[in-house]
């Protein structure tokens, strides 16, 4: 049986693929899933992957607002698509996933950026933006998380 860490990482990768596909196709997520406009054979939509994807979609306005205010000199629509999807996924986990510590969300996003990032320095960019967001939400997240 796969470890929870491995399952969560696979779920994040699946969610990233769907978010990326939706953004590239400029269509809503439901259409991407229904039309199979993603590498369906390579993606296992676990319960956690679905939670991540639908969570990002549900909270996208709040997530994007936070990204806009913290990504210095980068408009959201100018970011590489994959980096934007990674950031959205991580911010969702940081703010709304009750069982994911902020540091884990950041570390996992940095690992995704290293593996799939749109630029050579994607991991540093992702880490910097998420670090600034983490500092702004410190008072909003209970200590026990």
DSSP 79-114: S-HHHHHHHHHHHHHHHH-TTS-HHHHHHHHHHHHH
- The reported pTM is 0.86
What's the DSSP call for residue 26?
Answer: T
Mean pLDDT in residue range 91-114: 96
Give yes or no for residue 73 having a pLDDT over 90: no
Share of the chain above pLDDT 70, in %: 83
Q: Tokens 């996933």 correspond to what residue?
A: 97
Pair 35, 21: CB distance under 8 Å: no
Give yes or no for residue 123 having a pLDDT over 70: yes
Give yes or no for residue 26 having a pLDDT over 90: no
First CA to last CA distance, the chain: 26
Q: Which domains, and CATH codes, for the chain?
A: 4-139 (1.10.940.10)
Give yes or no for residue 41 having a pLDDT over 60: no
């Amino acid at each position: 049986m796969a470890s929870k860490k491995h399952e969560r990482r696979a779920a994040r990768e699946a969610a990233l693929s769907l978010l990326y596909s939706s953004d590239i196709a400029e269509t809503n997520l439901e259409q991407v899933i229904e039309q199979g406009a993603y590498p369906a054979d390579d993606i296992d939509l676990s319960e956690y992957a679905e939670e991540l994807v639908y969570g990002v979609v549900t909270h996208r306005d709040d997530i994007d607002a936070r990204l806009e205010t913290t990504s210095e000199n980068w408009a959201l629509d100018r970011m590489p698509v994959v980096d934007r999807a990674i950031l959205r996924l991580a911010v969702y986990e940081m703010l709304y996933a009750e069982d994911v510590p902020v540091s884990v969300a950041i570390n996992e996003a940095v690992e995704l950026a290293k593996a799939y990032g749109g630029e050579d320095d994607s991991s540093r960019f992702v880490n910097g933006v998420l670090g600034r967001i983490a500092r702004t939400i410190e008072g909003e997240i209970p200590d026990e998380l």
